[in-house]
């Protein structure tokens, strides 16, 4: 059985290699991309072009991606709804707890920095959201599950609300575009504050969308981990 698989895969790889060689390797940018590069800063006000594409030109895809995380978190809450507590009830040794106590504010601030400076430097909502979610997972591992349940900032009930608030913020920005007479998810056309490119408060609605998707990703991933780890 395994030999048939290897044979099939070898044939497929050969076919793929011989055919895909012919894809033309472009020297200059494609026409759409050259427009993004030349006029991206003027159209959106963001200097990070990937973020401008993700949250302004193709913002609808980002809404879909945030919805995938939301659906995944909802699926986990649906499937893992029985309360059972696993091994890391009490957390790790005091050395790790002390170290974590020193590190965690810095990780948090770094995550917030990555989210908020998404339109200037590499980063953005998703990357920063993942950093904050990993902070939440670290806190659960180090301090134990009972810490998670009792503290208010990272507790699972608050996480569901944060996720929904992030989603509504995204949709709200989109609907602002409709209410001002433009299209859904319009950025500078809808009158958001443009500012000077390269500064923190610029690029219209892109920082707000970054924050919304960052909240959503952080809350969603932390709900996923908490559901598997034995929450309610």
Give the range of 99-107, 110-118, 145-153, 222-230 binding other proteins by CB under 8 A. Answer: 222-230
Backbone angles phi, psi at 184, to 5 degrees: -65, 140
Question: In the set 68, 109, 153, 200, which binds other proteins (CB under 8 A)?
Answer: 68
Closer CB to other proteins, residue 100 or residue 208? Answer: 208
Q: 95: buried, middle or exposed (CB in 10 Å: 19+, 13-18, 0-12)?
A: exposed
Pair 203, 41: CB distance under 8 Å: no
Tokens read off for 184: 């859904």
Backbone angles phi, psi at 27, to 5 degrees: -90, -45
- Binding flag, residue 27, other proteins (CB under 8 A): yes
- Binding flag, residue 95, other proteins (CB under 8 A): no
- Binding flag, residue 98, other proteins (CB under 8 A): no
- Least CB distance from residue 197 to other proteins, whole Å? 8
Using CB under 8 A, count the residues that bind other proteins.
92
Give the range of 8-16, 85-93, 101-109, 137-145 binding other proteins by CB under 8 A. Answer: 8-16
DSSP secondary structure letters along 93-105: -HHHHHHHHHHHH
Question: In the set 7, 37, 109, 153, which binds other proteins (CB under 8 A)?
Answer: 37
- Calculate ∠ Cα 75-127-29, nearest 5°: 115
């Amino acid at each position: 059985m395994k030999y048939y698989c290897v044979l099939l895969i070898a044939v497929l790889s050969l076919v793929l290699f011989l055919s895909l060689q012919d894809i033309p390797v472009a020297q200059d940018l494609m026409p759409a991309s050259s427009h993004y590069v030349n006029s991206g800063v003027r159209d959106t006000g963001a200097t990070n072009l990937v973020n401008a594409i993700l949250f302004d030109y193709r913002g609808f895809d980002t809404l879909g991606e945030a919805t995938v995380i939301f659906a995944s978190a909802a699926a986990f809450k649906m499937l893992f709804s029985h309360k059972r507590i696993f091994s890391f009830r009490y957390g790790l040794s005091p050395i790790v707890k002390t170290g974590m106590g020193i590190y965690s504010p810095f990780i948090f601030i770094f995550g917030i920095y990555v989210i908020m400076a998404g339109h200037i430097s590499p980063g953005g909502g998703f990357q920063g959201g993942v950093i904050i979610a990993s902070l939440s997972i670290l806190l659960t591992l180090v301090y134990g599950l009972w810490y998670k349940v009792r503290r208010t900032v990272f507790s699972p009930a608050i996480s569901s609300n944060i996720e929904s608030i992030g989603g509504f913020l995204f949709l709200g920005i989109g609907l602002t575009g409709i209410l001002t007479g433009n299209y859904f998810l319009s950025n500078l056309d809808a009158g958001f504050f443009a500012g000077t490119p390269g500064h923190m408060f610029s690029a219209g609605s892109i920082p707000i969308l970054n924050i919304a998707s960052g909240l959503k990703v952080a809350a969603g991933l932390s709900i996923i981990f908490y559901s598997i780890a034995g929450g309610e």
